[in-house]
Structure 1
Amino acid sequence: MAALGCLQRGFNGPIETRRSWNLIAAGLVLWAVGQAGLSYLSGAFDLRQMLAPTWNFFFFAYGIPIILALSSANENVGLRSFLWPDGAIAAIVVVLANLQLFSSAPGWSRLVPLSVTDLGNIYNIQNVLLACACTLRLLLSSRGEKRTIYSILSGFLWINALVWAILSSFKEMPVPIRNALWELPFLLLLTALAFWPQSHGSKVAKGTGILTVGFLVDNLSPVLLTIGVIILASEIKREHIVFKVLSMTIAVVLFGIRTAIRQSDYFRGHLQIVESQQALEEANVQLTRDAVRDGLTGAYNRRYFDQTLTEEWKRASRAQQPLSLIMVDVDHFKSLNDHYGHPTGDAVLRAIVRTLTTVLRRPNDLLARYGGEEFAVILPGTDLKGAMLVAEHMRASIEAREIPNDRSGSGRVVTLSVGVASDQPAIGGTQQELLDRVDSALYRAKSQGRNRICS
C-alpha cells in the first residue's frame, strides 16, 4: 500500500519528481517481496528466521532504489539524469551482495556464514546511512515537491532505522508488539502520503555555497555504491579473480564517466550563466543606446544633445577652450514630404544623417536631431573659423549627393541652410545664449535665400 501511495503521488505531482517517487516505490516493492517470503516461511516475523538467504536479500536490495532516488540530479541546477550509470553500479552491488552475503551457491558463499547479529548490524548500518543521506538532501533542498519527498522519506527512514535497532536489541519481545513495530514505519509513510499537501512548484536554491554542497551530495550516493562494489568484490574468492577485477573496474569506470559528465554539466551551466549575463549586458547597452538615439534617423536625440551640451560647456569652461555649435535645417522639406510622401521624406533624413556623420571626424563631435528636419552639431575645442569649415563641408556634401527635390528652388536638389555660433565659456556668457545665437544665424541663412551658411 505504501508503494502504491508513492506511485500515485508521483503520477499526480510534477513530472520532475515522478522518477524519485517511482524509485522509492520500487524499493518498497522489494521490501514487500522479502516480507512476503519470510511470512510464508514463518507465518509471523521472527528475527531468527531472517537467516533465510533468498528473502533476506530483498531487505538489503530495497535500499538500492532509495539511493538512486537520493542521487538523482537536482533539477534546480539544470543537470541531466544519471540513472543509467548509477543503475549499472547499483546492479553490480546487487549481484555481489547476493553472491557474497546471501547466496548459498557453491564456490560463492562466505567462508563464515552470516549470523543473526551480523545480519542485524548490516541492516542497521544501511538504514542509518540512508536516513543520514536523505536528511542531508532535505537540509539542502529548496521549497517544493522535492523537499516534500525528502521530508517524507527522511521521516520514514529514521523511524525504520529506530525500529530495526529496537528489534535487533530486544529479541525476546512479544510477537504482537514486534509485529506492530514492524509495520509502524509503513503505516506512518502511508499516512504522510495521504495527508501531506502536494506542491506543484519549486524554487531555485540561491547561493554559491548551497550549489557547492549540492554538487557534493549529487555525487555522494554513487560514491557509496562504488565503495560498496569494491568492498564486496574484495571478498570474492581467488578462483573468481577475473569476476572480481571486472566488477571493480566496471564500477570505477562508470563512476568516472558519471563524474566527468556531471562536471561538464556544471561547467556548461556556468557558461550559460555567463552568456546570459553577457546577453543582459548587451541588451542594457542596446536599451541605453535606444534611449539616447532618434528612432528614425539613428542620430542622437534632443535630450542627449541637451545633456552633452551642458557637459561640454562645463568642460570648455575648465579647459578655457572654445565651443561651437552648428544648426542645420533641410530646405523646403515640407514641400518634399508633400510631393514625394512621408516614406521618401524619412529616407531623405536618414541619408542626410549618414552624410553628415561622415563629415564629423573627431570622436567628441556630436550630431543630434534637434527636431523635425533640424539637426544640431556640437564641436568641442573648435573656434568659429573651424566650425565654418565643417559647416561648409556639410552643406557641400549634401548638395553633391543631388537628392531630388522638385519643390526646391536650388537646382531641384535637397540643400541645407546652416547657422554657426562659437563662444569661449571661460570668458563669460551661457550655453542658452550660444543656442540663441546659432538659432538666429540659421534664421538669417534661411531668410537670405537658403543653401548657405551664416554665423
Structure 2
Amino acid sequence: MPLVLPLAVLLIQALLMGLMPADIPTIAYLAMVIVPVLSGVCVLLRAYREAKHARSGWLLLAFAIFIWTGGAAANLWHEWVLGRQNDMYREAMLAFHLSAVPLLLLIATPWRAGWSEPIRWVDAGLSLALGVSYFLLTWQSLTARGAPDEASVAVMVWLVDAQNLFVAAGAVVRWRAAQERAERDLFTAVATHSVVYMVLAGLNNHWVAAQGPEISSAITVAFALLMTLALRPAGPMMLSQVPLRVVLMVRSLSPVMIAGALLGVSLVLVPFDYPAGVVGVLVAVLGYALRNTLSQASTLATGELLRREHDALQSVAFTDALTGVANRHWLDRSLNEAWRRALRERHSLSVLMIDIDHFKLLNDRYGHTTGDHCLREVAEALSSALVRPGDHLVRYGGEEFLAILEDADANGALVVAERMRQAVSALRLEHMDSASGLLSVSIGVASALAMSGRAPITLVEAADKALYDAKCQGRDRVVVAAGAGNADTKQA
C-alpha cells in the first residue's frame, strides 16, 4: 500500500499525458493540485495513527501541503480558466511562501512541546512573520521596477531557491537529531519531501519551466514520495543513540533560527518596503527576547520541579514507610557524616540503641496490625523526646530504633535516653507479656569523643552491647556503655 498508491497516481498522470497530448496542460495543472491533495490526505491519516505528542507535527505538515495546493490551484485558475499564460500571480506566490510557515514552525519547535505552551505560539508568530516578510521581499524584488523583467525574475527565482534550501536544511538537521521513533519518522518524511521538492523546484525554475507544464508537473514526484512515507508502517521503537553534542547543538540553534532569519529578511526588505521591513525587525527582536524569556522560565520551572521530585524521592528512599522516621539507608550515610563533623569540631557523639521489650510476644498475642500500631506510636514518642536539630531517630530494624545525638556526652545522652523511656511508658500501651503489663523499651547508650582512626560503627556496637546489658538486667531501663569514650557503665 505505501508504494501502490503513489506509483498508481504517477502512472495515471503519465498515461493521461501520453494518451491525450492535446490536453497535456490541463492534465499537468490538475495533477499539481490532485496529487498534493492526496498527499495531504495521507499525511492526515498518518497523524491520527500517531500518539498525541507526534500528531501535531503531522498535522502541521498536512497544513503546509494544503496551503501549497492553494497556490497550485490559483495557478490553475489563472492559466487554465482565465487563460493568463506565463504571468506572476500574487496570491499563488503568497500561498507558496506561506506553505513554508508550518514547516518552519515544525522544525524550530522542541519535540513534545504542546500548543498550551506559550513558546509554541511565539514560534508560530515568528514563523508567520517570516513567511509574510519573505513573500514581500520576493514580490518587491520582482515588481520594484514595474513589470517583471528577466533580471527581476532571476532574483525572484534565487530567493525561492533560498527559501527551499532553508526549509530543507532545517528539516535534515532535525532528522539527524531525532531521538524517538515518532520524531524520526516525522522528520524523515519532512526532510525527504523538502529535499526532493527543493531539487525538483530548482530544476523547474532554472531549466525546464520553459518546456511547458508537462515538465513542471514533475514536482508531483515530491508529493507522491511523501504519500509513501506517510503510509508506511511506523519505524522500530529503538533507535541508535544520537550523539549528545548533536542534540544539544540543534536545541541551541532552534531558538534563534526563525528570529535570526526574520531579522535578516526584514533588514533586506527595508529598502523595498520600509514600514514592513521595520515591523519585521521589531517582531524579530521582540519575539526572540520573549522566546528567550519563556525558555528561561521553562528551564527554571523544570529545574525546580526536578529538585522537588529529587527531594521527594530522597525522602522516600531515606524514610521508613511504617513509622515515618529515617531508615537504615539514611543511617549508613548520616552516621559517617555526623562522625566527621564531631571530629572536625572536636565534640562528642552519642548513639542510643532502643528496643521494644518483648515485641515478638506482643505480635504473637495481639497480631501484627497491633504491632505495627505500637511501632508507630513508639516512634512518635521517641521522636518527641529529641528536641535539638542535631538529634535524629532511625528505625534500625524490626522493633529496634537508633538515635544519633551530636555534641552530646554520656551524661547528656543519658538524660535524653531516660526522657525517651518515660515518653514510651507514658503511652500506656497494653502488653500483658510485660512485667508491668504495659509496653516499655530498653535503651543502650554509648558516647565518645570523635577521634581519627576510630570508626563510628564502634559506637553502634557499644550501644548495642549496653542494650543487651539493659535487657539482661530486667528491661525497661537505660544502660550507658563502658568504654567507647565513657568512663564506666551507668544504669537509670
Whether the 8 Å contact between 2:126 and 2:287 is mirrored in structure 1 is no
For 2:430, the equivalent position in structure 1 comes to 405
Q: 1:106 aligns to what? A: none
Q: 2:442 aligns with which of 417, 427, 443?
A: 417
CA RMSD of aligned residues (A): 4.6
The structure whose Rg is larger is 1
- Per the alignment, residue 135 of structure 1 pairs with 168
Task: State the SS of the aligned residue for 1:3.
Answer: helix
Distance change in 2, residues 1:281/1:60 (3 Å): closer
Instruction: Give the secondary-structure state (helix, strand or coil) at the position aligned to 1:446.
Output: helix
Paired residue type of 2:351: L
Letter aligned with residue 60 of structure 1? M
After superposition, the Cα gap between the structure-2 partners of 1:424 and 1:96, relative to the gap in structure 1 and judged at 3 Å, is closer
Q: Which amino acid aligns with 2:476?
A: N
1:182 to 2:223 alignment: no
- The answer for the alignment partner of 2:293 in structure 1 is 267
Q: Check 1:139–1:11 CA distance in 2 against 1; reply closer, same or farther (3 A cut).
A: closer
Which consecutive unaligned segments of at least 5 residues does structure 2 have? 1-30, 48-54, 114-118, 176-183, 481-492
Name the aligned partner's letter for residue 153 of structure 2: G
Partner in structure 2 of residue 17 of structure 1 = 58
Matching residue of 2:6:
none
Question: Secondary structure at 2:326's aligned position in 1?
Answer: coil
Q: Does 1:441 align with 2:469?
A: no
Q: 2:315 aligns with which of 274, 289, 293?
A: 289
For residue 189 of structure 2, what is the aligned residue in structure 1?
148
**Is 1:377 aligned to 2:400, yes or no?**
no
CA offsets per residue over residues 150-183 of structure 1, 9 Å max, x none?
Answer: 4322332343233322368xx7xxxxx5555433
- TM-score if structure 2 supplies the norm length? 0.66
- The one-letter code matched in structure 2 to 1:213 is L
1: CA distance between counterparts of 2:351 and 2:131? Answer: 79
Cα-to-partner distance string for 1:229-287 (whole Å, 9 max, x where unaligned):
766656xxxxxxxxxxxxx37x8668856864665455334433333333333333333
2:71 partner letter: L
The answer to whether the Cα contact below 8 Å between 1:326 and 1:391 also exists between their aligned partners in 2 is yes
User: May I ask how many residue pairs the two structures share in their alignment?
Assistant: 416
Q: Which amino acid aligns with 1:215?
A: P
* Closer/same/farther in 2, CA of residues 408 and 257 from structure 1, 3 Å limit: farther
Alpha-carbon distance in structure 1 between the residues aligned to 2:454 and 2:100:
81
> Shift in Å at residue 95 of structure 1?
9.6
Q: Which amino acid aligns with 1:66?
A: S
- Does residue 1:213 correspond to 2:248, yes or no? no
Q: 1:3 to 1:358 in 2, by over 3 A?
A: same
Work out whether residues 324 and 382 of structure 1, in 8 Å CA contact, stay in contact via their aligned partners in 2. Answer: yes
Question: After alignment, is 430-439 or 283-292 more displaced?
Answer: 430-439
Distance 1:7 1:83, change over 3 A: same
- Please show how residues 255-404 of structure 1 align to structure 2 within 5 Å: 256=282, 260=286, 263-302=289-328, 304-305=330-331, 323-334=349-360, 336-337=362-363, 341-379=367-405, 382-399=408-425, 401-404=426-429
Report the equivalent of 1:451. 476
Deviates more, 1:113-122 or 1:256-265: 256-265
Q: What fraction of aligned residue pairs are identical, expressed as a percent?
A: 22
Report the Cα offset of residue 405 of structure 1: 1.7
Specify whether residues 39 and 225 from structure 1 end up closer, same or farther in structure 2 by C-alpha distance, changes over 3 A only. farther
Q: TM-score, normalised by structure 1?
A: 0.71
Structure 1 stretches lacking a partner, 5+ long = 44-48, 103-109, 172-176, 235-247
Letter in structure 2 aligned against 1:64:
H
